[in-house]
Structure 1
Amino acid sequence: MPIRNDAALDFLLTRRSRPAKTLVAPAPGRAELIPLLTAAARTPDHGKLEPWRFIVVEKAAMARLGDLTEEAGVRLGKSEQDIAKARGQFDLGQLAVVVVEIQRDSPKVPALEMTYSAGAVCLALVNAALAAGWGANWLSGWMSHDRGFCEAAFDLAPNERIAGLIHIATEGAVPPERPRPDIDALTTWMDR
């Protein structure tokens, strides 16, 4: 008979990301962040490749990233609204962890499984932050897919890309519950 962990199951059934724009100071310090990164790094990783790494963006670096976002938006011909929205995550941000996907050469592990692993790290980090009492949100945005921005902002290598920007700080407002997927409509049961 399996041993249930009701507290963990209840957390997973009721977890709710916090909108990044509602996160306020303080953010976790380095000592508080290490256990969260450690929890995220326990993500299943086929082949033990660790096809991801972390870049911690502290408050002092946010303004530079906002400026780089604006420059990228102008270069790409984005609207003022698109630029302002994308820049806002840095203008308002207290702390973010950039989860960088690394595509490694592997004869055994397909590239897509490395992408899945990086995405799993993002969700694990959000869940670890929420479980630790912080507000957290997984964002990306058009700038995180722009090579010029990625290289200027984070010095990413050609085999690296942003899987997510995980904003972590203090919850400023409790978000309303949102509609959840209809499990019956999404589930097919096969018995033969």
Structure 2
Amino acid sequence: MDALNLLLNRHSQPKLTAPAPSQEALNQILQAGDRAPDHAGLKPWELIVCQGEGLKKLGSIFEQSALKNNLPENDIKRAPLLPLRAPMVIVVIMRYQQHDKVPRVEQIASVACAVVSMQMAAVALGYQGMWRTGRYAHCSSVKNALVLQEKDEIVGFLYLGTAENEKLPMPPSDIGSHVSYWR
């Protein structure tokens, strides 16, 4: 798949199944993320690749968060199952680094670019993905379980696997409502 076609037809795939990316494919996916725009070369990201028992460990962290935050019983039961929606989940963390020329917002943006690069690399390699956030990305008990500092952030959970259903190419976007030209 050529790069422009990949970008113009990008869409998330919420229904993922095995196989997950092979180790060779995963290495390429991680390398693509490592090439994200990164002012001052800080590499402010930490990636936790969860598979097998790792998915259950992440689910347990979600479940403990649901219990601690007194969520409804249905949410508590659902929490440990969330990471099992794909055969691989990459927890993407922004580890803030104090720097005179690179503010926190730039570091978050850099990590977000890494997520997009990893998702696009996965698609280019024949896999699919879904970048998820939600309550567990913003929850202090999840952040504590992952040993985040106050200025660190969970930028998302990148679910990767094989699409259950093949989606058709995306129709062109209507960019007119949010693009202006200064000439």
Q: Same fold (TM over 0.5)?
A: yes
Matched, 1:14 2:9: yes
Deviation at 1:175, TM superposition (A): 4.3
Across the aligned residues of Structure 1 and Structure 2, the Cα RMSD in angstroms comes to 2.2
1:51-130 correspondence runs (5 A): 51-83=44-76, 86-130=79-123
Q: For 2:111 and 2:49, locate their aligned partners in 1 and report how far apart those are by CA, in whole Å.
A: 16
Letter in 1 for 2:176: D
Q: For 2:148 and 2:35, locate their aligned partners in 1 and report how far apart those are by CA, in whole Å.
A: 23
Letter in 1 for 2:157: L
Structure 2 gap ranges (5+): none
Q: For 2:169 and 2:5, locate their aligned partners in 1 and report how far apart those are by CA, in whole Å.
A: 16
1:86–1:143 Cα contact (<8 Å) kept:
no
Please give the per-residue CA displacement for 1:42-66, whole angstroms capped at 9, x wherever unaligned.
1110111111121111122112222
Letter in 2 for 1:11: L
Q: For 2:173 and 2:68, locate their aligned partners in 1 and report how far apart those are by CA, in whole Å.
A: 38
Matched, 1:185 2:180: no
Query: What TM-score does the superposition give when structure 1 sets the normalisation length?
Result: 0.85
> Structure 1 residues 173 and 151, CA, compared in 2 at 3 Å: closer, same or farther?
same
1:66–1:87 Cα contact (<8 Å) kept:
yes
Deviation at 1:83, TM superposition (A): 4.2
Alignment partner of 1:25 out of 9, 14, 18 = 18
Q: For 2:36 and 2:19, locate their aligned partners in 1 and report how far apart those are by CA, in whole Å.
A: 27
Alignment partner of 2:28 out of 8, 32, 35 = 35
2:95–2:148 Cα contact (<8 Å) kept:
no
Structure 1 gap ranges (5+): 1-5
Q: Tell me what 1:169 maps to.
A: 161
Paired-residue identity, %: 29
